[in-house]
Amino acid sequence: MSRFTVLLAGPIHVTPRLLSEVAGTRAIAADAGIAHAARLGLHPELWVGDFDSHEGGAGEGVPRHEWPRDKDRTDGEIAIDEAFARGASSVLLVGAFGGRTDHVFSHLVVALRESEAGRPVLLFDGLEWGVPLRPGSQSLPAEAGAQFSILKFSDLRGLSIRGARFPLDRVDIPFTSILTQSNEVTGEIEIDLGEGRALLLLQADPARR
């Protein structure tokens, strides 16, 4: 089992923390995500996609699996599937934020879906983490002062947040509420979710970027 980095086409911030997270991982590039490989010191073992957004200048010597442009999966989904087929224990999506909004939304949905299926997927662009939340309790190390939000993809039931400026205790929150936006870490965050689908967006500690 191995940790994999999947390179997507969105912008990234090449911070020391990002370099540390991808160091020693196996990598797969999705279409234009190949452009990030050299900056991160990665040599992908596979390059997948329909190659409709790749502009050249990268990827020489990387094995390619080309897909038709008209397909029922995104290039990112194909790359994630390839990673788990090759024995991934977890996948880090790099380049999932920024760029086209519909692409960002699809990356968040896919990360939630994969995590619910027991295939751990995280998102990180060097400055911001995306962490799928599942029912139950999760403790997440974060530095005091870091900003975070919980994005809802359904109504939430029994949500508790501890270690935050605005804590919650077993609160039911409808999908239309923005109560879980723009919070601040005061200590290790502990989130307990009874039911629902949500994803934590957490700013990386500036001192460790």
- Residue 24 CB neighbours (<10 A): 9
Nearest-5° Cα angle at 42, 37 to 46: 80
> pLDDT for 39-93, tens place per residue?
999 999 999 987 766 666 566 778 887 776 767 788 899 999 999 999 999 999 9
Q: Tell me what pLDDT residue 18 has.
A: 96
DSSP-derived secondary structure letter, 117: T
Question: Which own/partner pairs from 171-178 qualify as long-range (CB within 8 Å, at least 24 positions apart)?
Answer: 177/152
Q: Given this structure, which CATH class describes domain 2-126?
A: alpha beta
**CATH class in words for 133-208:** alpha beta
In whole angstroms, give the CA distance from residue 126 to residue 135.
Answer: 27
Q: Residue 70 has what pLDDT?
A: 63
Domain residue spans in the chain? 2-126, 133-208
Whether residue 104 has pLDDT greater than 90: yes
List pLDDT tens digits, range 5-38: 999 999 999 999 999 999 999 999 999 999 999 9
CA separation, residue 114 to residues 34, 79, 83, 135 (Å): 22, 13, 12, 14
85: which residues sit within 8 A by CB, 6+ positions away? none
Q: What is the pLDDT of residues 130-169, one digit of tens each?
A: 999 989 999 988 888 999 999 999 999 999 999 999 999 9
Please report which helix (H) or strand (E) contains residue 203, including its range: strand 198-203
- The three-class DSSP label of residue 107 is helix
Across the chain, mean pLDDT equals: 91
Dig out the tokens for 120 from the structure: 């751990």
State the pTM of this model. 0.91
Contact 155, 175 (CB under 8 A): yes
